[in-house]
Structure 1
Amino acid sequence: MEVLTDPMSVNTSIMKYEYTDQKMGAVLGFTDDIKKDEHRFAHTESTIKFLWNRNCEPVHFQVDGIPMVLQPNQLVTVTYLQHVSLEATALPLMGILFNREFYCIFDHDTEVSCNGILFFGTQDLPIVTIPDGQLKKFNLLFDMFLEEFSTPDNIQGDMLQMLLKRMIILSTRLAKEQLIVQTLDNDQIDVIRKFNYLVDLNFKTKRRVSDYAEMLFKSPKTLSNLFAIYNQRSPQQIILDRIALEAKRLINYTDKQNQEIAYELGFNDPAHFSRFFKKMTQMSPSEYRDSLVLTP
């Protein structure tokens, strides 16, 4: 176990803490300026983040090229499936980042695990507003993290896990009150959450709703009816959108050519991939790539 703490910089409000367990490969990072500190953490491919705007003004950033705004006292969770750009972020944005090895294992499939509605439960980013009446709890939790990072001992990892779990529980409760999932009962929420999670895991190899219905012990019609209540997009459309999103990410953030991307996404024929991409985006992969170069 190792705890890394950077001394405060010239701006004494900025701090960075990191807990690592080399044996388990576990990482927990804590900073009140994620833009400054993001690349100074021991990142893994499975990093999950809480981003919390503790400023008095909105914070602007991008997720997968889409502009996002966090109002004061709002937080959002992003997973390793999303590409976050903080280039346009002028104000410090508080961040907690962690990996599965630190907090959760695949088998821990509950609302407050990494498979919960805050992380893989919806197709839209779960922006949560912290009400004035709840703000004291979150600020106290912030202070407790700081205190625990300053107390390195043999049980520090356990204490930090407990604090992170409390953060997830408090945020999940607010999400269930504020987001569209509030209109569904717990069993329905669970099915939707698991469907989205399974799509994220399997979209490269499983394209049919029936594949996921079988894994969820539901009929395809039952899934379609449930998603009609939850969201206008059908389960099939969600699968297709997930493939298209991954294609955009690979074009945006890697040097892979169209043929390589096609095979990585499970297309046997690059021409089939090009037709699919154009149908989904109204541009061919090459046209989309060229549009990125032309974008200021």
Structure 2
Amino acid sequence: MQELIFEDHYKKLGLEMFSDENLETINGNKFKYDIKILFVTQGYELSVDFNHYKISTPSLFFLTSQHLKIEKGKETSTLLYYNRDFYCIQIHDKEVACDGLLFHNVFEIPFVELTETETSVIRGLFQNIKDELQWKDSSAEEMIRTYVKQMIIRATRNWKKQHLNNDAVKIPGSELDIFRDFSRYLEIHFKEKHNVADYAELLHIFPKTLTHKFKNLNLDSPNQFIINRILLEAKRLLFYTDKHVKEIAYDLGYEDPAYFNRLFTNKTGSTPSNFKKNYSSGKKYNI
């Protein structure tokens, strides 16, 4: 396995090439706290949280705190990982920063499918980053950041085409900021803010206005998105940690564990304890 890394004070970015021969490194905890851009080719199968993906088209996955497990794959693929100090400071444009459409969105779609042309371009950008990491020139940091931003911009354009301009969801450009900001605030505050009114206040609009915006676009209600995010975190804690249900309830901002237990059971059809014992697989997607 080949590893290339840039580190300077608090800033870090690395590149790893992998195949079925070294999946255990990618699947471990080494990159748990990094922002990740994962490029996989056809033939790969992987799980992100509780969803399973079978790849038939080269794709990019954009991940932060999700649990990633690559189950199989042949052709060499690439993992780019970095921290917020390297790329995500406030001066970056919010659409292409780490809290934009790709990394945290209310639709929970963390991937972009690539055309043959886009695949070639993305491969070229990864190669440019690899070259800079090998050369270790004094200007390498800025060059690498430029390539990362190009990758994110291209992927964001494709993500919008694939997921916001179809028969199921059509979001006008003027409305994108609301959904992007709602996603960002939800990711930051879901453990302590459980009501639509909390997020409407952060967005400087009325709760009814926020709810109507979602309804007019045939989306689930903001309240449902809030609940979904809480339940996702609950499932992560149940499945990947040894925490007790009561402790998880407190972690997620519920002072009454019995209420949390009822909410989880009502929304998932399983008690938290049964989920922890009996969970087998989530949704399956072919992409």
Bin for the TM-score computed over the shorter chain: 0.7 to 0.9
Native 8 Å contact 1:53 1:71 kept in 2: no
Q: Does 1:115 align with 2:103?
A: no
Native 8 Å contact 2:88 2:97 kept in 1: yes
Native 8 Å contact 2:211 2:221 kept in 1: yes
Question: 1:90 is matched with which residue?
Answer: 73
Cα displacement string for residues 117-166 of structure 1 (whole angstroms, at most 9, x for unaligned residues): 01113332232122223333222212211211111132221211111111
5 Å-filtered alignment, 1:154-173, equals: 154-173=138-157
Displacement of 1:231 in angstroms is 4.9
Give the secondary structure class of the aligned counterpart of 2:96: coil
Answer 1 or 2: higher relative contact order, Cα 8 Å, separation at least 6: 2
Question: In the superposition, relative to structure 1, how do residues 106 and 283 fare at CA in structure 2: closer, same or farther (>3 Å)?
Answer: farther
- Give the gaps of 5 or more residues in structure 1: 1-8, 10-14
Question: 1:74 is matched with which residue?
Answer: 59
**Matches of 2:58 and 2:243, distance apart in 1:** 39
TM-score relative to the length of structure 2: 0.87
**Aligned to 1:99, which of 60, 83, 88?**
83
Q: Does 1:211 align with 2:198?
A: yes
How many residue pairs were aligned?
275
**Aligned to 1:38, which of 26, 33, 57?**
26
Cα displacement string for residues 156-213 of structure 1 (whole angstroms, at most 9, x for unaligned residues): 2121111111111111111122212673223311110110111111111111111101
- Give the gaps of 5 or more residues in structure 2: 283-287
Native 8 Å contact 1:78 1:125 kept in 2: no
**Matches of 2:226 and 2:91, distance apart in 1:** 23
Question: 1:3 is matched with which residue?
Answer: none
**Matches of 2:161 and 2:246, distance apart in 1:** 44
**Matches of 1:274 and 1:206, distance apart in 2:** 18
5 Å-filtered alignment, 1:205-284, equals: 205-284=192-271
Give the secondary structure class of the aligned counterpart of 1:68: strand
Native 8 Å contact 1:44 1:99 kept in 2: no
**Matches of 1:64 and 1:262, distance apart in 2:** 19
Question: 2:45 is matched with which residue?
Answer: 60
Q: Does 1:127 align with 2:127?
A: no
Question: 2:272 is matched with which residue?
Answer: 285
Give the secondary structure class of the aligned counterpart of 2:248: helix
Question: Percent identity among equivalent residues?
Answer: 33
Cα displacement string for residues 100-132 of structure 1 (whole angstroms, at most 9, x for unaligned residues): 111012564611111110111333223212222
Question: In the superposition, relative to structure 1, how do residues 267 and 40 fare at CA in structure 2: closer, same or farther (>3 Å)?
Answer: closer
Native 8 Å contact 1:48 1:78 kept in 2: yes
Give the secondary structure class of the aligned counterpart of 1:20: strand
**Matches of 2:133 and 2:106, distance apart in 1:** 32
TM-score relative to the length of structure 1: 0.85
Give the secondary structure class of the aligned counterpart of 1:32: strand
Question: In the superposition, relative to structure 1, how do residues 169 and 217 fare at CA in structure 2: closer, same or farther (>3 Å)?
Answer: same
Question: What is the one-letter code of the residue matched to 2:176?
Answer: I
**Aligned to 2:137, which of 142, 150, 153?**
153
